Structures are given as structure tokens and as C-alpha cells.
Structure 1
Amino acid sequence: MSLIKQLWIAIAIVTLIALGGSLVVSTLSARHYLEQQLQVKNLDNATSLALSLSQMPKDAVTVELQISAQFDAGHYRLIRLTSPTGEMIAEREYAGTLDGAPDWFIRLIPIKAHAGVAQVQDGWRQFGTLTLESHKRYAYAALWQGTLQLLGWFVLGGVLTGLIGTLIIKHITRPLGRVVEQAEAIGGRRFVTTPEPSTREFRSVVRAMNTLSDRVRTILAEEARRLEQLRRQTQHDEMTGLLNRAQFLNQLDSALARDDAQAAGTLLLARVGDLAGLNQRIGREATDRLLRDLAGRFSDFAAGNANWDAGRMNGSDFALLAPGREDPDALANELTRELYDTLDARRWEVRIALPVAATNYAAGEIRSQVLARADRALATAEQAGDRSLRVESGGTPAPYPDLQSWRVALLSALEHDRVRLGAYPVVANGGRLLHDEAPIRIQLDGTWQPAGYFMPHAARLGLMPRFDIAVLRAALRAIAQDGRERGINLSAESLRDANFRGELFSLLQADAGTAKLLWIEVPEYGALRHLAEFRTLCVALQPLGCRVGIEHVGAHFGELGDLHELGLDYVKIDSAIIRGIDTNAGNQAFLRGLCMIAHSLGLMTIAEGVGSAAEQEALSDLGIDGMTGPAVREG
């Protein structure tokens, strides 16, 4: 019960007690006063009438007329004249009812006034005894009206007191409302602080809540820093800071398994020629400085683009993975120009050989095919010269010659509703189904194609918001048909599109019951690049009951510290970390820490790309809450 309601109840009780006591006291006092007044009036009127009768002739007609005249002129209930022997001489009595107040009131508070008694004389002889009683209806009417007025004033006073008290309580408890909001925010994993109020009692509570919030935020931030240090120790090359070979290959496997706008891309390799000879000619220290300079250029090149990775494959080989960039010629030329500028910026004693190779890749290819093409291109570049560049294209030829043809085909598929969703189970550790991942499939030239086949082209054409809306509509229809929860992905392009967000909210609000069974996730790089838009999305989706999460979480988890205030529901760990987790002690330590932080924020952790029973068993021990991938089955 709210404090305002309690205040009104208290005011009502106090008012009733005060009213009851005041009514009893005032009513009894008024009744006593009226009884006294009636008694004095009865006595005065009886004395006056007896005096008049004593001076008049004592025949029966005259006496009767005088008593009748007095009775009719006043408000009397009874006038009676009796002889000294008790015989009735004359009598007038009012036989009507009392209509000045309700009967229950008259019975509850009776007015008892003594009748006025006087002696009528006939000379020196007593003629008779006169008894006179005034009518009580006017007394009851006055008493009833006074009671009603008192009751009205008490009701008015109680209402005014309640209203004034409500305003005062609202003003006083305004800081308490902020404390409640802060407590709810902490319960929702949003560690916010509020200004301290002027009220001393509330100030201590708010200060304690702020301290708690700051302490939890500090602990989580410190754990995130430690986790990032552990990740760099286990996944990065110690000297250059780039990804080590094992982790880079995991990233490549993850990129080849994607089915979104980043499903296709480019792999580049660069090799420092005759590394052993360089060590002898320019010295180990200079060689290490050379490698660090090249690594820094690779790192800067990758850092400027979302979801790109740079790695050191061995002592002399460097690699760049560029998801979403399918023009290997332009990318390779751009990178080699920067690399050669870096080499020429220092005056080395010898010419540094640095052949470069590049190849594109497509969704669904296997790692060995892509690496084989890149290795062939690199070998050809080495034979062609110390600073040669070779590009080898791979994959199947595109079905459409240019982007305009792709646009026509993609829009036709949308307009004719040639869209359907896949279904890949996401299960909890015990086998319970959490939801079905629902990637989009569209029909092109009579064949149903996966998202990785056409999404890169849709992204270049700016059609991602339209495809995401199509996925949303299809997911809502599927949920309405079978009642199974679905998980859908929103692209970074859609996240920053205001029209898309408006249509998204409209569709979910129109079907609120179905929307509660929807899991909506955004890729990690999209949430980081468009943090303000992602925050708006989260805040808007919370009242609708949708679950909101981030997918492909991994290398940039430490940058997600500010997202604790958004009230997310889950994170999906990128398959690059999950792959081979049963044998990779470094990634096991990193994943265990990541799960601990996520659970501290109240987030469910789901592993992506689980490929074997051994990985499943290891993940359960590391604190993962759910899994999806080729090896995961429902039930």
C-alpha cells in the first residue's frame, strides 16, 4: 500500500475519532441546553397562564376559551388544568408526530424537559393546578441541523487535511521515489546514481544506494579490465600484439560460418622475406622493431573497420581478415601502399622483402580452401619479386553481373513474399529449448538461398532495413502459428534507421502477445558503433516484453561496460572463442571470466557455433547457460 493511501486512511480514522467524540460532546451539550430552555419556557408560560386564569371569572367556558387561546397561540404539546381533587377541568394536547428530525435520531437522543406547573387561584382559594409542556419538535429540528452542520464541517476539514497532507507527503517523499527508481534500476542491472536529497533520513539512504551502485560498477569494470588482460595474454602474440595463429584461424572459421551482411570478405597475407637473414644482417633488436612497425600498421588498418582482425601467423607472416570487404584488389593495393610507406619511412641497411597476397572468400567455404588460395597467391608473389602483390579470386561466380541486377532480384523476392525463416535450436544446458534461431532465406531464380549468399549485396544496396522488417513479420507469423519462441538478428544498418525503428515498434505493439516470445539481437560491432541508437532500441523494447541481446560477443567485450544500464537479457559468445574450447586453456579462462561478469549483470550467456560433444561438455563446466551450433540438438 502506498504512503499516500496510508495517509488518507490515517486521516479518515483520526477524523472519525474526532468527529465521534465531538458529536457526542456537542450533541449532549446542545440537548442539555435545549432541555433547560424548554424547562424554563414551560415554567414561565405556565406561571403566566395561571396568573391570567386567576384574574378571570372561573366559569367553565371562560377557562376553556383562555386555555385554547393560549394553546393555539404557542407551540405546546400539552396544557392541562386539574382541580385540587384531581378532576380534569380543561385540557388541550397536540396529537401529531414530531417532524423536525428523523425518528432514529429522536430515539437515539431523547430530549426530556420537565413540564411547567403553576397554581390557579380563585381569590384566597386554590382553583386548580395548571400543567404546561412546550412542543419538542423545534428543539429536535435545531439539534438535528446543528449535528448535520458539524458533520459537514468535519468532512470538509478531513478532505482539506487529506489534500494538503497529500501534497506535503508528495513533496517530502519525492526523493524516496528516486530511491525506488534507483533500486529498481539496480535490480535491472543498471547501476545508476541519484542526487542526494536535503531530507536527512532520505539522504543517508540515497548515499548508501549510490555507494552500492558505484561499488558494483567499479567491481565489474575491474573484472572487465582483468578479463581483457587475460584475453590479450591468451589470444595475442606477445611481441606484436596481434592475434596469434590459433585465434586468427578461429576468427577465420567464425567469419566463414556467418550468414549476415559480413558473410563474405577478403583474406590478406604478407610475408617478411628471409627473416633469419635479417636477424643476422641488421640484428635481432632492429628486426623486432621492424616486425612491430609492420604489426602496428596491420593493427591500425584493422582497427579502423568494424569486425576486422589482424594476426601474426608465424614469425614472418602477417594476416588481415576483412569481413564485408569483397574487393581484394582494391584492399590489397591500399594495404601494400601503407606497408611499403612504413618500410620506406625508416632507412634500413638492407632492402626489406614483403610480398603480399589476397583472396576473397564467401559464406560456406571451408578454411582449408581459403588458406590454400591465399598460400598459392603468396608463393606466386614471392617468386615475382620482393615487393610483389598477387590476388587470387575464389568461390563460385556471382549469378548477377552487377548491383542493379542484384537490386531487381532482391526486391522481387521481397515484393512476392519469397521469404522464409530457418530454424536452429538454441537450448539450455539441460536440453530445454530456449528459442529457435531464425535466419532469413529467400528464393532467387527458383532456389532457396541462405542469408550469407545475398546479405552482403543487400547491405551494399542499403536494403538491410527492408530485409529485417521482412524477417520480423515472418517471425511474428511463425510464433503465432506454433507458439515457439524465435530469435532474429537486426543489422547495424537497420539499427540507425529511424524509419525502421518506428515500423519495428508499431509491429510489436500491434501484436504484443506474440512479441513477448521474440528474442531480438544485434551484432556486437553494431551495438558499439551505434550505441545511442542501440540504447534507444533497448529502452523502447523493454515494456513490450521482448528479450534483447548482443550476438558475436568476443574481442570487444571489454568495451561493452556501458551497456549494463540497458537491461539486456543475454549475450551470445562468438564461435571464434567457442571453437576448440575443450582443448584451449586460454580461451577457457577467458570464457569463464566472461560468464562470471555476464551473470553478475544478470545476463544469460549462450555459446555460438558449438561443433562437438566435447565442446558442449566443456562449455557446461565453464558457466555457459545455453548453446547453439551444428552439434546442438533440442531435447
Structure 2
Amino acid sequence: MSMYRQLWFAIILSTLIALAGSLFASTMSSRAYLNEQLKMKNADNATVLALSISQKNIDPVELELILSSLFDNGHYASIKLLDTAGKVLIEKKAAAEQLQVPDWFMKLFPIQSTPGLAQISSGWKQLGTISLVSQSGDAYQTLWKSAQEMCIALTFSGLIACYLGALVLRRLKKPLNAVIAQAQGMTERRFIITPESNVPELKQLSRAMNSTVSLLQSMFAAEAERLEALRQQANSDAATGLANRAHFLAQLQVAIEEENAPAGSLLMIKLSGQGLALANKTLGRNKTEALLKDLGKLLRHYQAQLPDGFAARLNGTDFALLFREADAEPIAQKLLADIEKIFAVMPEPCAIFIGFGNYEYGISVGSLLAQIDAALASAEANGISNICKSAPLNIDQAPRSADEWSKLILRAIEQNWVKLAYFPVISSDGQLLHRESALRLMFGGEWFPAGRFLPIAERLGLTEKLDLIAIKLALDELQKASSKDDIAVNISAQSTQSTSFRAQIKSMMLAKPEASKRLWLEIPENGAFANIDGFRAFHKDISGTGCKLGLEHFGRQFDKINLIHDLKLNYVKLDGGFVRNIELNEANQAFIKGICVIVHRLALSIFAEGVTSAGELDMIKQLGLDGATGPELGRMFPLKEL
């Protein structure tokens, strides 16, 4: 029984006991009063009768007539005349009264009409005794009516007491519920600060809980700051704050292997070595380093503004900017102008060279870098600041025009030329956790990966429709009797912001509740953090369906980890950029190990993305991750075995 029910039970029970006690005490008091009144009435009436008879010389016949007349006109139960020896000379008894009083009440509260006794005398001579008993019916009627009125009054008082008790309980319940929610949040690794109650005892409890939550939150924040510093140390250039070469190459590898992502662009920036040498000589080392820091700040600004932006310093004079946008030339021109403004303080201009090109799913890192290096070399050829675009990448099935792509995508949707490709996500002990899916569309008899058509789909506003198709395909697969494995579906953060999308996905999952319990939905970390309120609304809408919710590419914005406290996620997938060559990178090993500790304290599972080698797989097992996915797992667990 809950505490509130126990309190209600105690209030009701105590009220009933008080009512019963008050009613019983009042009734007993009234009964005693009526008994005493009857006793006094009987005594007074007997005395008056005896005196009236004593003053007259009445013969027996006349005496009987007087007693009969008195008995018939009065409310007496009995009248007796006894001689001096105690012998009954005359006796009158009334029949039993017909009362509108329950028998149980009269048995529970009996009224005793004590006989009134008086001596009849003539002078000093005693002639006999009068015994007179009044009827008790009126007393019972009075007592019953009094009890009823008292019961009504006490019941009304009890209802008022219960109402006041409800108000008190409601006042106590609100802060108690807040403390309970706070304690529940702590078990779910969510930190909630509640307002302090006005009730002194509860105020102390709220203050103690808030102090505990603040302490845990500060400890968590301190650990997150330590890990963020470790991440910066392991993956960043100390002078500019940008990613270092090793981390950039790992991130580039992940970007071109992500088939669900749209195509993107790579810019490589080179500063003239002679210009920097002259700056060192004329401005001094400190001012030159300040210029490089300003350049790092500028590139971080571009990184934040561009979709999936990622900036790095490759060496002393070489920088790179990676982002998900195919039209890079306007960005390159604006970037060149901004960099020139930074180095305008130098006594002589510093030449700035930019080479750029596009990439998409299917190109190798070596081929892409070769193309961009060639463009950068072309930009350097004249020795002055310049921008040069790389030659088109030689990829089979190169994208057609936007109009052609639009027709192909819409036709594929209309003809239901859609399917899901599956990749294994394996636990650290080698068990299949779920199958990660990727949408495919068929164009001209060939199945195309999502990365080839997503950019056009986003421009056409078809992202929500494609996400709904992927979820429907996954639910249909899970509904099959032969399907035993859970399925994960990647959906865009843009779709989750739409109320109509949330309503449709909820309806689809509620229609297939058993399949929904085996569905995993994952959203890119940057998209979720970009609109955290929209993500919370999405989570709230689907929370009753039983599906699991997670973040992919986790760790790129680790400084925002505090935002996931109250999201009630089920898992995260660590970005493959941190996993690449992890067996050789001790600093990243410490960072990932720390991430695992924090994520597990949040009661979440954590899996590694993009595992490409047995060495990486062995190391992530040692670091405490719960599982992994990637090309290496695909080779170990081919789809035909799933």
C-alpha cells in the first residue's frame, strides 16, 4: 500500500473513530440525562399522588377509580398501590408501546424508568405505598432523534476534516513527488534540481537532495571536462585548436565510408612557407603564432557553420576543411578572402593557396587526396594566392543532373523499388545484437546506396518520406515469423522535427507493437544537439512504442554530453574517427575508456562504428565498449549467415 493510501486510510480511520466515539459519548450522556429525568418525574408524581390521597378519607372503591382515571389520562407504564405489608391492592399496567425506534438501538442504549415511591398516611398512621412508573417511549424517541442529528453533524464535520486532510496531503504530495522524481532521475542518470518546499521537514529533504544532485552533476561535469581535455590533447593541434593530421585522416575515412550520408567537399589550404618565414623574422614568433591561432579560430567558425564541418591542421602550413556540401567554390572564395584579412598585417603579402574537390561514397582516401593535392599544386603554380578545383572524380555511375535524379527518386518510390541492406552489430562476446539497415533505391535495374541520392532527396523535401519507407520496411521485416534479429534504422534529425512525421511513425509502430519492441532508431549526434527541444519532443512521442533510441557518430561534440542527461536514450554509437587505428593511439584509448565509464554511468550501451581491422576490434573490447560494427564485422559475420 502506498504512503498516500496509508495516510488516507489513517485520516479516514481516525475520523471514523472520532465520529463513533463522539456519537457514543453524546448518546450515553443523553441517555443518562433522560434516565435521571424519568426518575425525578416518577418520584415527583408519586409524591404528589400520595399527598392528595393522604388528605382525603377515601374508601377503596373511590381510590381505585382515582388511580384508574390517573392511569388512563397519564403516560404511565404502571401504577401500583401496596398495603403496609407489601401486598398489591391495586395495579394498573399499560400495554407495550409501539415506537419508531430500532430494536438494536433500544438494546444498545436501554433507558431504565426507575419507579417513584411515596407513602400514603393518615396523620401519623401509614396506610400504604404508591409505586409509579412513567412510560419511556418519549425518552427513546428523543434519544433516537438526538443520535440522528448528532450523526449528521459529525458526518458533516468528518467530511470537512477529510477535505482539509486532502488539502494538506496535496500540499505534501507535490514536494514529495518532486523528490521522488528527483531520486528516480538519479537512478536514470538524470540530474534534476527541485524547488524547496515550504514545509520545514520537506524543505530539509529537498535541500539535501538538491545538494546531492549538484554534487553528482559537478562530478560528472568534471569528468566530462577531463575527457574533453584528453580528447583535445589526443586529436588536436596545440597551436590552433584544430584537429591534427591523424584524426583528420581517420575522420575523412569515416566520411567517405558512410553510405547513408550525402556527398561532400574537401578543401586543402596551404600558406606560403616564405611568407611565414618572413612573418617570423619581421613580426616575431609570438605574433606569428597569434596569426595562426586566428586562422584556427576562423576555420573553427566555418566548421561550426557548415554541415558536418571538420577542420584540421595537417602540418605547419597546410590546413584542411571537410564538409557535407557539394558546391564548395563559393565557400573556398569566401574563405580565401577571410584568410587574407587575417594576414593583411604582415609587411609583405603571404600567398594562400586553396585546392578543393568533391567526394562521395565509394571513393578511396588515397584517390581523393591525390585529386585535391593536384588541385593544390595547380593553385601554387603561379606563386600568388589562388583557388583551383580538382578534376572530376572517376566514379562509376556518376550522379546525373538534379532534375534526372528527382525523376529517378520519385519513380523508385512510386514503384516501390526500395529495400534495406543490413550490416551486423556484434556484442563484445561475439553475439549478434541487431542488424543495422541502410536504404537502397533501384535506378535502371541497379541498387544505389543512400549517399548517392540523399542530397537531391533533401533538396526535394523527401527526407521524411524516405525515413518512413525505411521504418516501414524494417517493421515489415520484424513482423515476419522467420525474423529473429532486431533491426536499427538511421533517420535524419530533420525528420524528427516534423510533427506529422512523428505522428506517422508513432501510428506505424503502435500498429505493430511486438515488432516495434525490436526496432532501434538512431539519429546523428550533431542533428540531435542542434535542436535538442525537437529531439525531446520526438522521444516523448515514441516513448510508448517500446523501440530503442540512440545517437550515432557520438563523441564529435563531446562537450555537449551534459545535454543527454534527461534524454532517456538506450545507446550511443561512438564515431569511427576515434576508432581508426585505436590500437596504436594510446591517447585515444584513454579518451574512449573514459567515455565508456561516463556512458555506462548514464545506464547506456556504447558501440563502436567503422571498425576496419582485427586490431581495432580487439582493442575496443579491452576498452569496455559493448559492441561494434563496421567492415571488419561484415567480413567476420557475412550477411548470408544472419
Q: When the two structures are superposed, what TM-score results if normalisation uses the length of structure 2?
A: 0.84
Per-residue deviation, residues 341-370 of structure 1 (Å, max 9, x unmatched): 666663438x74x55433322213332332
8 Å CA contact 2:437–2:487 kept in 1: the answer is yes
**Which residue number corresponds to residue 208 of structure 1?**
208
Q: Deviations over 1:518-570 (max 9, x none)?
A: 43332122123223323433455456555433210223211333342434333
* Deviation for aligned residue 1:251: 0.6
CA, structure 1 residues 24+339, in 2 after alignment: closer, same or farther (shift >3 Å)?
Answer: closer
Q: Is this contact kept in 1: 2:113–2:135, CA < 8 A?
A: no
Structure 1 residue 235: Cα displacement: 1.4
Decide whether the 8 Å contact of 2:279 with 2:346 is kept in 1.
no
TM-superposition CA deviations, 1:151-196 (whole Å, max 9, x none): 3333322221222233245346654444444333334333233444
- Post-superposition CA distance 1:260-314 (Å, at most 9, x none): 3x332122334456x5897599769598788667656544433431322223344
CA deviations 1:592-634 (Å, max 9, x no partner) are 1222232343333221122334323321221222322334459
8 Å CA contact 1:573–1:608 kept in 2: the answer is yes
Q: Note the aligned Cα RMSD (angstroms).
A: 3.9
Matched position secondary structure for 2:191: coil
> Contact 1:80/1:91 (CA < 8 Å) preserved in 2?
yes
1:614 corresponds in structure 2 to: 615
One-letter identity of the residue aligned with 2:462: L
Counterpart code for 1:360: N
Inter-CA distance 170–411: structure 2 relative to 1 (3 Å threshold): same
Q: Does 1:374 align with 2:375?
A: no
Provide the residue aligned with 1:465 in structure 2.
Answer: 464
Partner of 1:268: 267
Aligned pairs for 1:254-293 within 5 A? 254-260=254-260, 262-271=261-270, 275=273, 285=285
Measured at CA, do residues 344 and 133 of structure 1 come closer, stay the same or move farther in structure 2, by a change above 3 Å? closer
Using a 3 Å threshold, how does the CA distance of structure 1 residues 148 and 485 change in structure 2: closer, same or farther?
A: farther
Structure 1 stretch displaced more, 73-82 or 251-260 = 73-82
| Cα pair distance change 1:56/1:333, threshold 3 Å | same
Residue in 2 that maps onto 1:575: 576
- The share of aligned pairs that are identical, in percent, is 37
User: Can you give the 5+ residue segments of structure 1 that lack an aligned partner in the other structure?
Assistant: none
Q: 1:561–1:152: structure 2 CA closer, same or farther, 3 Å change rule? A: same
Change (3 A) 1:498 1:19: closer
Q: How many residues align?
A: 629
After TM superposition, the structure 1 = structure 2 runs for residues 442-453 of structure 1, keeping only pairs within 5 Å, are: 442-453=441-452
**Is 1:409 aligned with 2:401?**
no
Q: Is the 8 A contact 1:595 1:624 kept in 2?
A: yes
Q: Do the aligned partners of 2:262 and 2:453 also contact (CA within 8 Å) in 1?
A: no
Deviation at 1:212, TM superposition (A): 2.6
Q: State which drifts further: 20-29 or 118-127.
A: 118-127
Distance 2:198 2:58 in 1: 91
Post-superposition offset of 1:486: 3.6
Deviation at 1:250, TM superposition (A): 0.8
**Partners of 1:278 and 1:287 within 8 A in 2:** yes
Code of the aligned partner of 2:302:
F
The question of 1:357 aligning with 2:358 is answered no
Amino acid corresponding to residue 392 of structure 1 in structure 2: A
User: Do the aligned partners of 2:399 and 2:452 also contact (CA within 8 Å) in 1?
Assistant: no
Is the CA contact (8 Å cut-off) linking 2:19 and 2:158 kept in structure 1? no
* Cross-structure match for 1:247: 247
8 Å Cα contact 2:118-2:130 kept in structure 1: yes
CA distance in 1, matches of 2:234, 2:247: 9
Matched to 1:599, the amino acid is H
> What is the CA–CA distance in structure 1 between the aligned matches of 2:303 and 2:442, rounded to whole Å?
34
Determine the structure 2 residue equivalent to 1:534.
535
1:286-305 matches, within 5 Å, as: 298-305=299-306
Match of 1:429 in 2: 428
**Alpha-carbon separation, structure 1, partners of 2:188 and 2:252:** 36
Matched, 1:630 2:631: yes
> Does residue 26 in structure 1 map to residue 26 in structure 2?
yes
Shift of 1:92: 3.7
Q: How does 1:177-188 map to 2 (within 5 A)?
A: 177-188=177-188
Where 2:582 maps in the other structure, the secondary structure is: coil
Secondary structure, counterpart of 1:392 in structure 2: coil
Residue pairs, 1:51-66, within 5 angstroms = 58=59, 66=66
Question: Hey, what's the Cα distance between the residues in 2 that align with 1:215 and 1:202?
Answer: 20
Give the direction of change, closer, same or farther, for the CA distance of 1:287–1:113 in structure 2 (3 Å limit).
closer
| 1:595 correspondence with 2:596 | yes
Note closer, same or farther for the CA distance 1:444–1:78 as it changes in structure 2 (3 Å cut): farther
Q: Secondary structure at the match of 2:631?
A: coil
How far apart, CA to CA, are the structure 2 residues paired with 1:3 and 1:175? 14
**Shift of residue 247 of structure 1?**
1.4
Between 429-438 and 334-343, report the one with greater CA deviation: 334-343
Secondary structure at 1:327 match in 2:
coil
**How far, CA to CA, are the matches of 1:136 and 1:241 in structure 2?**
104
User: Counterpart of 1:566 in 2: which secondary structure?
Assistant: coil
- Measured in 2, the distance between the counterparts of 1:407 and 1:583 equals 45
Q: How far apart are residue 82 of structure 1 and its match? A: 5.6
Residue 312 of structure 1: aligned partner: 313
The answer to whether the 8 Å contact 2:19/2:154 transfers is yes
Q: 1: distance between equivalents of 2:224 and 2:86?
A: 113
Q: CA deviation at 1:586?
A: 1.9
5 Å-filtered alignment, 1:390-405, equals 390-396=389-395, 401-405=400-404
Contact 1:4-1:166 at 8 Å conserved across structures: no
Match of 1:145 in 2: 145
CA distance in 1, matches of 2:276, 2:90: 150
CA distance 1:110–1:300, shift in 2 (3 Å): closer
Contact 2:332-2:387 within 8 A present in 1 as well: no
Residues of 2 paired with 1:328 and 1:29: CA distance? 100
Separation in structure 1 between the aligned mates of residue 155 and residue 468 of structure 2, nearest angstrom: 59
Secondary structure of the 1:571 match is: strand
Cα deviation code 1:448-495 (max 9, x no counterpart):
333222212212222212222333344444444457544333313224
Aligned amino acid, residue 458 of structure 1: A
Q: Once the 2 structures are TM-superposed, how far is the Cα of residue 371 of structure 1 from its aligned partner?
A: 2.9
Q: Which moved more, 1:331-340 or 1:119-128?
A: 119-128
SS of equivalent residue, structure 1 residue 243: coil
CA contact (8 A) 1:15 1:154 kept: no
CA distance in 2, matches of 1:293, 1:123: 137
2:498 alignment counterpart: 497
Inter-partner Cα distance in structure 2 for 1:78 and 1:463: 105
Q: Structure 1 counterpart of 2:186, which letter? A: I
- 1:218 maps onto 2:218 in alignment: yes
TM-score normalised to structure 1 length: 0.84
Change (3 A) 1:122 1:484: farther
Q: Report the AA paired with residue 438 of structure 2.
A: P
Which amino acid letter does the alignment assign opposite residue 237 of structure 1? D
Letter in 2 for 1:245: R
Give the AA of the match of 2:533.
A
Gaps of 5+ in 2: none
- Cα distance, 1:135 vs structure 2: 2.3
* Paired position in structure 1 for 2:135: 135
Q: Counterpart amino acid of 1:253?
A: Q
8 Å CA contact 1:539–1:566 kept in 2: the answer is no
* Maintained 8 Å contact 1:265/1:326: yes
Q: Secondary structure at the match of 1:155?
A: helix
